[in-house]
Structure 1
């Protein structure tokens, strides 16, 4: 498993690394200070030392089945040396530590039970002394508890880091979706206005040059305004107002020769709701111009029974409602603020969009 956190170091040694724990081997050689070891004892220890170190270092950071050979080798070395000295019970602590930190769930319990059972069998057969077994079981239990607690803390830390990474990734996705929706609404309306006005300018260029000049000036203003809004969206500063959105949709509808009926009785709206209403209005009106073939468009915004409602309807060709990127973006934008979005074909013709937000007049959002 890839290490998620940096190991803490003291005097160059990692506190949660393999080398620092070798200090426990001092308990193995301590009896030699009191009484010199027998030749077979120190010779066997000398031969076992490199085997132990290789198995220990190779298996310390392993997880799952990959650590099994190292656990088995260290435990066999402990039992083998235990035939010569009870101090070899210290070696079994390393097998216990690796088993606890490398295994999880039932597998961990099986390893601990298995090592205990093998130790008990060796005592019964007289291979190791009861002092060896007592030291292995007692200190092994302490090592298992300490290692398990440390593993739990590491698991929790890794879970928190993963959760934080997921939250950051979700925030990035949310921000990308916000930028995508806002750019779609801004670019869609602005380019629709530019296309309509450029067509109109080209038609009247020869007969009414002043009129054409006015349309070109409007195109310039729309383009500059769109560029400013796009930059604001990218910086996360875009907060469209109903006043600005109303002027923009009026310009677009005028260019498309669609009569607008507008009414707004809502005041002092929260910024987030006003921005959402403004963007929904822009996208809905852009769809009217592009697809409805309408001659009139009605927009009504009012506050009623603690809620803000906006209705946008047209007298266009109506027909089946197809959710594309635009309508889908409107629906998600409204849902993000806990609002309700509805769209329906009208009788005898036309389409009606309705947006509803519950209001909390306790404070602005």
Structure 2
């Protein structure tokens, strides 16, 4: 079944299904229609004659389906008229069919998404239910039935209010994360500009002066002119070496920065990260490789683990450094995708290794090891405290390919 409604970015479907594909979103909407069977089941179970309620119920249900799917797809800012229309169907059908209560519950479901202010949403639900209670009280319905409808409507509507509030909180956290990255990139560009100015400003000025001098000496003292050109060449080669060194430093990733970025990334997925401070004496190539491996591991935790807590322990030994990465998700890595394969290749290039323990349902623990060259005359590097056996373990991919 293909539905032709355009889905607004801030629709109920978008809030409920996140980044799922459009087809999956509509399947979720269809699943939520299961509860509408009570529109038919309620009068049938109560023994009400079919001729009294069947035709108006079918007609109302056709109208309800149109309102329901449209309410799922429009912007929540335009949702309130659909809340009123679905609630009105319940008012019109209830004198003929006790199952009209279902329309009131669906009205409260959508009311939970219709207002940015949760208090206004609660007030709208209370007004809808108050009008409904007055109607069914006038129809002499039993108070237990009335109370059950009110409680169900408030419970489901309240959950949707909380769900939308959580969505706004997550969006603000993602924006904060993006702003931190933007500011970090701006600061890095400014640093690169200062470094290049410091490296090349004086050097290029010196080369220019020596070349001008050699041009002036070219006719009257060729030997001196040749000497100036040779000195300009030496200065240019020195500048080239400095630029290459600076570019190498720019390209390398910083482990401390990646840990901070991982904390923000996981926080945006409601995952608390506990991590150690990285050692400051790692060679550039080792630190860059470990940083990229850490970046991929944090991405996998955020996307696949379903965890609430993660930890990164850094153990620095005499000639090896280890990252112990864990989370408390569902475990069960059943295959290694491009992410884990890429991590293994990076570590292999450093002479390191990657070990993963991921029993299904018990979390996963990743051990990243890389050798660190030991300089002659330097004593044993300080060793970080061992990671206790009780450290939280969890999956980097919850039954998924990383």
TM-score bracket, shorter-length normalisation:
0.5 to 0.7
- Contact residue 87 and residue 107 of structure 2 kept, 8 A: yes
Q: Root-mean-square deviation (CA), in Å? A: 3.3
Q: Choose from 12, 16, 21 the match for 2:32.
A: 21
- Contact residue 71 and residue 95 of structure 1 kept, 8 A: yes
**CA shift in 2, pair 1:193/1:186, >3 Å:** same
Q: Choose from 105, 108, 111 the match for 2:121.
A: 108
Q: How does 1:272-287 map to 2 (within 5 A)?
A: none
Give the superposition deviation at 1:74: 0.7
Q: What residue number does 1:53 align with?
A: 65
Give the superposition deviation at 1:130: 4.8
- 1:77 partnered with 2:89: yes
- 1:94 partnered with 2:101: no
d(CA) in 1 for partners of 2:216 and 2:131? 97
Give the superposition deviation at 1:141: 1.4
Q: What residue number does 1:289 align with?
A: none
d(CA) in 2 for partners of 1:235 and 1:82? 74
d(CA) in 2 for partners of 1:45 and 1:173? 62
Give the superposition deviation at 1:73: 0.7
d(CA) in 2 for partners of 1:82 and 1:194? 91
Give the superposition deviation at 1:87: 2.2
Structure 1: gaps (5+ residues):
240-269, 272-362
**CA shift in 2, pair 1:216/1:118, >3 Å:** same
- 1:225 partnered with 2:238: yes
Alignment TM-score, normalising by the size of structure 1: 0.57
d(CA) in 2 for partners of 1:65 and 1:129? 36
In the comparison of the two structures, how many residue pairs are matched?
A: 240
Give the superposition deviation at 1:26: 2.4
Question: What secondary structure is seen at the aligned counterpart in 2 of 1:22?
Answer: helix
d(CA) in 2 for partners of 1:143 and 1:37? 31
Q: What residue number does 1:30 align with?
A: 41
- Contact residue 125 and residue 154 of structure 2 kept, 8 A: no
Structure 2: gaps (5+ residues):
1-8, 253-279, 282-381, 383-402
- Contact residue 71 and residue 79 of structure 2 kept, 8 A: yes
User: 144-153 vs 17-26, which deviates more?
Assistant: 144-153
Question: What secondary structure is seen at the aligned counterpart in 2 of 1:152?
Answer: helix
Question: What secondary structure is seen at the aligned counterpart in 1 of 2:79?
Answer: helix
Q: What residue number does 1:318 align with?
A: none
**CA shift in 2, pair 1:129/1:36, >3 Å:** closer
d(CA) in 2 for partners of 1:220 and 1:180? 24
Q: Can you list the C-alpha shifts for 1:167-224, whole angstroms capped at 9, x where unaligned?
A: 2222222222222222233332222112211122222223332222222122223333
Give the superposition deviation at 1:46: 1.0
